[in-house]
């Protein structure tokens, strides 16, 4: 029997049938992101974390200052600076010319744009795998249910406007 460091037994297993839609969607989203990150690493894009995507999404149309990114993500400039430094070190971002020399402006590098293209391809591969497994009708229905959930939760404009923030 497995015993953790404090001598406690692991919790009882969870029945997947008991999970509600929100839990299932959350866990599927986490697993899908993990799958994409593994595929990215296999294709030479090392060091990418799911949280990096929140920064990258705001740089798709052009450069931003670290302060602007922090405002868009509603997190501290220190947290954004740390992630930006990591992404620059990994080669996914580059420093960009700034109108205000006092503020650091960053943009996607060519490697960062390649990362985005390959990540999108990995997501399409995953979706194709799910279609092969579940069938196109089941996938279309699952998509409809999730789009209804987006509507019910009122997050459609946040998604369309790329205003979703990292989890708290």
Model pLDDT for residues 30-52, shown as the tens digit of each residue = 999 999 999 999 999 999 999 99
Q: What is the pTM of this model?
A: 0.85
What residue has token string 């229905």? Answer: 141
Residue 3 pLDDT: 52
- Average pLDDT of the chain to the nearest whole number: 91
C-alpha 17, offset from chain centre = 26
Q: What pairs with residue 94 in β-bridges?
A: 107
CATH fold group of domain 21-160: Arc Repressor Mutant, subunit A (1.10.10)
pLDDT for res 7? 64
């Amino acid at each position: 029997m497995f015993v953790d460091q404090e001598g406690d037994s692991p919790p009882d297993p969870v029945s997947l049938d008991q999970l509600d839609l929100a839990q299932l969607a959350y866990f599927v989203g986490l697993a899908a992101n993990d799958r994409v990150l593994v595929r990215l690493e296999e294709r030479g894009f090392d060091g990418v974390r799911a949280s990096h995507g929140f920064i990258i999404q705001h740089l798709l149309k052009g450069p931003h200052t670290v302060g602007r990114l922090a405002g868009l993500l509603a997190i501290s400039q220190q947290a954004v600076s740390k992630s930006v430094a990591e992404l620059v070190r990994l080669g996914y971002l580059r420093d960009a010319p700034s109108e205000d020399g006092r503020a650091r402006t960053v943009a996607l590098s060519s490697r960062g744009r390649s990362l985005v293209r390959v990540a999108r391809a990995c997501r399409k591969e995953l979706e194709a795998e799910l279609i092969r497994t579940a069938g196109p009708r089941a996938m279309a229905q699952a998509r409809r249910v999730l789009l209804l959930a987006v509507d019910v939760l009122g997050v459609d404009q946040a998604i369309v406007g790329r205003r979703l923030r990292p989890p708290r």
